[in-house]
């Protein structure tokens, strides 16, 4: 390792663009720059074909059909379209929505907006391990429930929810099921048909693709899911998302999905081993450190650890060459402890002593060992200063 290396362990916030993705995108800025909606000349037709090819790759990663993929600017827009679009489309059937207290803000904030419009929202608690209780979910359902939204993998703890059981309950009751899979897609196997979801959100920049490109899976088999669009003006994406297609971003998204699909098993295994090595190194030197959330049901690249008595912000300040996080990237500047961790039952102090490690495709064993040694050294130094 070089002196003072810059090490990136914040791959939940975003990932670097894979060089193969960048190569695929470059032609869209130079030769293939047409508007995909311009079907009267070759430039537009070529752009449309590139977008359609990418749509197929995105669909293949999820076990979906290309016609079920609606391109957006990212998971935040996809979540908003799914929640607000479904709530408005099915309002005549009911006004009740169920979600979980540990969801991303791009789910929780739209739900609160819907409450202002007269909808009722139930926010389910989670257990100490971060998992939902399917029994509580069943009890929360009423004859006015029209939508359930549960994320597949949490962006802070990496905890993977028992989605198959939750989806089965929704199907049994005739309720739409939405899933925010921004952190899960491309890291663990995701098959929308096997899970039985109706709507699923995901984004390119979490899987080594570009920022500004995302998608919403909208089930079309059986009784087609209806949505009221957020944007009007051109009827793009079968009327669900008006606006000129971001062809370079979409092409990059498609290539990122292709790479993930081909290498998912091997990459998950490799990154999981790195994660476990980091955990073992830390716990061997800081035995009172503890993992937040379930280790059995967790993304292979995630660790969220609390260091009792240590300020996470001070720890990260002293680890200045290592990119880490104390919570969701969208709340990284907030002085408040993570609402996700306090929902697991952690005290404000323990939540404030927690650090998230997000390993990724380009991290190495040497980096893991360097970070472990450096982190343990800083923890011990901080504890000595407290005494």
For residue 63, which of 185, 180, 170, 146 has the smallest C-alpha distance?
185
DSSP letters along 34-93, please? --TT-TTSHHHHHHHHHHHHHHHHHHHHHT--GGGEEEESSHHHHHHHHHHHHHHHTTTT
Helix, strand or coil for residue 216?
A: strand
Give me the phi and psi of 340, to 5 degrees please: -65, -45
Give me the phi and psi of 87, to 5 degrees please: -60, -45
What is the Cα Rg of the chain in Å? 21
Report the alpha-carbon distance of residue 60 to residue 56 in Å, rounded. Answer: 6
Sign of torsion over alpha carbons 41, 44, 50, 52 = negative
- For the annotated catalytic residues, the residue numbers are 330
* Ranges of H-type helices in the chain: 19-30, 42-62, 75-89, 105-116, 134-140, 163-173, 192-195, 247-285, 312-318, 339-343, 348-351, 365-386
Long-range contacts of 369-375 (CB under 8 A, 24+ apart): 369/277, 369/281, 370/1, 370/5, 370/7, 371/7, 371/9, 371/278, 371/319, 371/322, 372/277, 372/278, 372/281, 372/282, 372/285, 373/281, 374/319, 374/321, 374/322, 375/282, 375/315, 375/319, 375/322
DSSP letters along 317-341, please? HHSTTEE-BSS-GGGTT-SSPPHHH
């Amino acid at each position: 390792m070089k002196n003072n290396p810059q090490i990136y362990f914040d791959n939940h916030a975003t990932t670097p663009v894979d060089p193969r993705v960048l190569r695929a995108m470059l032609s869209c800025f130079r030769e293939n720059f047409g508007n995909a909606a311009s079907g009267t000349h070759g430039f537009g037709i070529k752009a449309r074909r590139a977008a359609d090819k990418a749509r197929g790759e995105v669909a293949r990663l999820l076990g979906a059909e290309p016609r079920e993929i609606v391109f957006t600017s990212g998971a935040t827009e996809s979540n908003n379209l799914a929640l607000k679009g479904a709530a408005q489309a099915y309002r005549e059937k009911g006004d009740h929505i169920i979600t979980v207290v540990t969801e991303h803000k791009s789910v929780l904030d739209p739900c609160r907006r819907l409450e202002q419009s007269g909808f009722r929202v139930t926010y389910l608690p989670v257990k100490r391990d971060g998992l939902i209780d399917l029994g509580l979910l069943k009890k929360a359902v009423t004859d006015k429930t029209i939508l359930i939204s549960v994320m597949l993998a949490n962006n802070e703890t990496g905890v993977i929810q028992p989605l198959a059981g939750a989806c089965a309950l929704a199907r049994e009751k005739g309720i739409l099921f939405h899933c925010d899979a921004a952190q899960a897609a491309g890291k663990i196997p995701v098959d929308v048909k096997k899970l039985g979801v109706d709507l699923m959100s995901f984004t390119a920049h979490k899987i080594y693709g570009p920022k500004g490109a995302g998608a919403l899976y909208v089930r079309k088999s059986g009784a087609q899911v209806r949505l009221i669009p957020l944007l009007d003006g051109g009827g793009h994406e079968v009327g669900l998302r008006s606006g000129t297609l971001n062809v370079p971003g979409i092409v990059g998204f498609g290539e990122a999905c292709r790479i993930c699909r081909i290498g998912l098993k091997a990459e998950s295994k490799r990154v999981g081993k790195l994660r476990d090595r980091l955990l073992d190194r830390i716990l061997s030197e800081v035995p009172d450190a503890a993992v937040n959330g379930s280790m059995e049901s967790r993304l292979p690249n995630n660790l969220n650890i609390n260091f009792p008595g240590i300020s996470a912000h001070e720890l990260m300040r002293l680890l200045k060459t290592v990119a880490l996080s104390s919570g969701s990237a969208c709340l990284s500047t907030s002085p408040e402890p993570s609402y996700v961790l306090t929902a697991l039952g952690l005290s404000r102090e323990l939540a404030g002593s927690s650090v998230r490690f997000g390993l990724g495709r380009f991290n190495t064993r040497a980096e893991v060992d360097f970070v472990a040694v450096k982190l343990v050294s800083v923890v011990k130094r901080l504890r000595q200063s407290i005494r």
